[in-house]
Amino acid sequence: MMVLQQPLKSFFTFLSHNRTMNQLAKKWGLKLGASQVVAGTTIEEAIARVNDLNQKGLFCTLDHLGEFVNSRQEAIEATDYCIRTLEQIAQTGVNCNLSLKLTQLGLGIDDRFCLENMQRIMKTASSLDIFVRIDMEDYSHCQQTLDILAELRKTYSNIGTVIQAYLYRAEEDVQALAGVPLRLVKGAYKESANVAMQQKKDIDENFFSLIKLHLSSGAYTAIATHDHRIIERVKKYTKENKIPCSQFEFQMLYGFRVNLQEELVKEGYQMRVYVPFGIDWFGYFMRRLAERPQNVAFALRGFFSK
């Protein structure tokens, strides 16, 4: 498996960027085991999964998947879908936030246009009292994302973003964003050694340092990891420093480490599940397979159990 790990990662990463495969996958429905990690293709299906998770004491955040947005019309349609998702969350009363990516809303087309789309979304989210999280994408979009966040924070407090611990700039960004609700992650994109740490042990240590830094500022902190070692360190640190469970939450992806998610809830911790949905599932699914070779076996089990 170790010999195959890098070729497999490269193969699935390549597929995640393949537009032809992405278009074909839209016609397949949730195949290849994708239903294990994608909650459905429609808002209604996703809300039903969220309701099931809520019944188990799990909070959620919905993400309408989208890839390769290159036109203003596509970005406007994605914006409209985010607004519809917010309205469905409010109408059904599920315990759920919204996560989104700025490239889906036109960041690669024009920054001002993307900001206008975000302002439409935030106007609805604010009126419905729903929190919105801007997902962080690759390094080339990092500063653009933080600039748009800063502009939106002038008007709206119910918005935050994500900081990736493998970036050298991460500590400075966390310090600058003291008081802003952040999701802290290790980082999943393939980045140059010029901008990002490459060794797992260095990333892990910086990740935990950022968690402590943001918690110490008193800000609400979402700790997104499936790494049980990091989770145990966070539990120990927060207990020793009398940081209440109401100030932070753990986050994991839909379909992964389900038993651990439920165990954390039983222990009294806040646990939020990142729930992706939509017909544009292929790129997301390929990236999950690329992250860990074990995910391939996990997906195949789901595929052959149907």
The catalytically annotated residue of 49, 63, 133, 135 is 135
Q: Is 183 part of the annotated catalytic residue set?
A: yes
Residue 43: how many other CB atoms lie within 10 Å: 19
What whole-number distance in Å separates Cα of residue 167 and Cα of residue 139? 8
Taking alpha carbons only, the member of 136, 148, 69, 128 closest to residue 100 is 136
* Residues contacting residue 191 through CB under 8 Å, at least 6 positions apart: 138, 139, 166, 167
Spatial contact of 214 and 248, defined as CB atoms under 8 Å apart: no
Q: Is 147 part of the annotated catalytic residue set?
A: no
The catalytically annotated residue of 49, 183, 272, 288 is 183
CA distances from 45 to 116, 171, 275, 276, 299 (A): 29, 38, 11, 11, 20
CA distances from 74 to 81, 88, 93, 109 (A): 11, 21, 29, 11
Catalytic residues: 135, 183
